[in-house]
Amino acid sequence: LREIGRWLAQFGDGVYGTRGGPFKPGRWGASTCKGDTIYVFAFTWPAEGTLVLPALPARIEKATLRSGGNLRWEQTDQGLALSVDAPDPLITVIELKLDRDALAIPPMNVPAAGAISAGKPARASNVFQNKTEQFGPAKALDDDPDTRWATDAGTEQAWLEVDLQVPCEVRRATIHEAFPGRIRAFRIVAEKDGAWLPCHEGTTVGEDFSADFSPVVARRFRLEITKAAEGPTLWEFQLFGKPSP
């Protein structure tokens, strides 16, 4: 109880007299607001180091890491990117001062994983029995661990493409295979000047694969499965980074 009391003494202004929002709560954390201020409470900081929140219909005049330390932030029409050197092991608290009333901002969903690819347009070379509504490429980009992109039985090669809609600096990818062991070789590529350039290459994927690579700025990225023992099917294909200035 004393620890809770100490925490409230430091951050209570982000709790008392506030209303939830505008960023909807989830595994990432939660937010509150009052007046011209939004309080961000991040429970889990992304492994790639940057928390990406939806774009705000207001200008941020000041951003403060309430627990102290260095906060780097970038606001664009595509979203808000927040980076800290050392996230708080309990809750990272960030205060955002706006140029207008925060209470007037409607609620906004936050992708659970913080992937910049979440919900973006997608294409694929193959969909299981053409059942796009159930197994289409968008199912691997919906940030929902219970839906999947699937290909026809016997498929040995396939690709999944995501359009980030604007050039983004991507430096990390995760792949979650629904039936581990089917993928035997793959590569992640980015389109630049009409050519597909490699970002990362690998063999097996499994249930929880992640790869960090040198930052690549592009709008379109593909996961190219070049060898599979059976029709590949993925829960999620996620890209992490931030919109390019």
User: Residue 75 and residue 58: Cα distance in Å, rounded?
Assistant: 10
| Mean pLDDT score across all residues of the chain | 93
Model confidence pLDDT, tens digit, residues 8-37? 899 999 999 999 999 998 768 899 999 999
Pairing of strands 60-65, 92-98: antiparallel
In this prediction, residue 158 has a pLDDT band, given cuts at 50, 70 and 90, of: very high
pLDDT at 223 over 70: yes
Q: Which residues contact 191 (CB under 8 A, 6 or more apart)?
A: 197, 218, 219, 220, 221, 222
Res 78 pLDDT > 70:
yes
Please give the structure tokens belonging to residue 22.
């505008």
Question: What are the sequence ranges of the domains in the chain?
Answer: 2-104, 122-243
44 pLDDT band, cuts 50/70/90, is: confident
Domains 2-104 and 122-243 fall in the same CATH topology: no
Return the pLDDT at 113: 63
Q: Give the model's pLDDT for residue 112.
A: 61
Domain over 122-243 is classified CATH 3.30.70.870: no
pTM: predicted TM-score of the whole model, two decimal places: 0.61
pLDDT of residue 170: 95
| Whole-number Å distance between alpha carbons of 58 and 187 | 39
Instruction: Supply the CATH classification number for the domain 2-104.
Output: 2.60.40.1180
